[in-house]
Amino acid sequence: MIFAIQTRPARRWSVLSKVSLVLAMGLVLAACNKEQAAPDGAAAPTAAAPAVTPETAVSAKVASMTVEQLRDAASQAYSDNRLYAPAENNAVEYYLALRDKQPGDASVASALTDLLPMTVIATEQSVTRDDFAEAQRLAALLEKADAQHPALARLKANIAAQQATAAQRAQEKTLTAEEEAKKLADLEKQRLEDQKKQQEQAAAQLATKQNADKQAADRAAADKLAADKAAADKAAADKAAADRVAAAQRTQAAAARPGAAATDLRALSTPAPKFPPDALRAGQSGEVQVEFTVGTDGSVTAARVVRSNPARIFDREAVNAVRRWRFQPVDAPVTTRRTIGFNPGG
């Protein structure tokens, strides 16, 4: 949810100076009253912390971490919805420290781009709650991330205007110590609740965006994989078709060539086939007629069963044996047939 913030016209420096002086005097008087009301031995109030600047927006503790520590811490803070708070333990601060150490990291720049709009909204809401320390811290983070951010000047003007207005209100009403403590406690409680809700909403929005991006990337990868597979299948089919055409052409050429006949074949090696164990134990005999083609180098390039008796008992061993046969090289491929006998007593 984005809260609209009404800005007030900038006051002249002299007016701001007077208001600041009055505010300072009021704070001194309030501090004196608290010291007088405190029991003997109570500790004196601590001095106000210096305002956060772009140079100090990333704490020394965070800046001293290594690149790997910063990456792990940023990822954990992102997962825990600690996007910009609390100080010294939030994703924006870790990513800014990472950018200082590795200026050219595109993932860091992308993360900051996603986080800065939430930081702007949180700054505006802090100003609305009169939580100026938090507003200045967030504005300093924003300025360090992008000194030319279009919302930066408006945010700074809003903080200054609201501080001046708060100073005027402080002069009009003096809070008792108990009221002031309760207001601070309520402010802190509300701030923490608001921060938690804001960061949860921001994290949900980022998760939705990242999920959409991942789904788009997955779809693109699946489409590419399907296209690559289709192209590979087509190439394989084209090659198989080309091989079939080439084989047919070679067969036709061999049949048409006068000198390419079975009589041209001179066997160099015709190892006998193995006898199938089951047929051997059964004492079964048979024969297989095999048609085969001898290439120009004398090797058998193709073999198939023409007929067999009994069927399929000796086919495999007959074909395996013929494929191992070798002949003298010939001028053109020769296709012929041979009948191979199987006799268990032979």
List domains and CATH numbers for the chain.
13-222 (no CATH), 263-342 (3.30.2420.10)
Locate 199 and state its tokens.
């960061």
pLDDT tens per residue, range 176-234: 788 888 889 998 999 999 999 989 998 999 899 999 989 998 998 889 998 899 888 89
Alpha helix (H) residue ranges in the chain? 13-37, 60-63, 67-79, 91-101, 106-128, 132-145, 152-172, 177-256, 277-282, 315-323
* Residue in 337, 331, 339, 338 with CA at minimum distance from that of residue 256: 331
Its pTM surpasses 0.75: no
* Residue in 52, 51, 66 with CA at minimum distance from that of residue 142: 52
At 211, is the secondary structure helix, strand, or coil?
Answer: helix
Locate 144 and state its tokens.
């360090």
Apex CA 119: angle with CA 117 and CA 1, to 5°?
70
Cβ-based burial of 240 (10 A; exposed 0-12, middle 13-18, buried ≥19)? exposed
> How far apart are alpha carbons 345 and 283 in whole angstroms?
8
* Residue 102 φ/ψ region, left for φ over 0, alpha for ψ in the -120 to 50 degree band, beta for the rest: beta
At 270, is the secondary structure helix, strand, or coil?
Answer: coil
Q: Count how many residues are written for the chain.
A: 346
Enumerate residue ranges in the chain where pLDDT < 50.
Answer: 1-47, 256, 258-259
Residue 253 is predicted with a pLDDT of 56
Cβ-based burial of 195 (10 A; exposed 0-12, middle 13-18, buried ≥19)? buried
Phi and psi at residue 303, in whole multiples of 5°?
A: -155, 140
* Contacts with 86 (C-beta within 8 Å, 6 or more apart), sequence order: 195
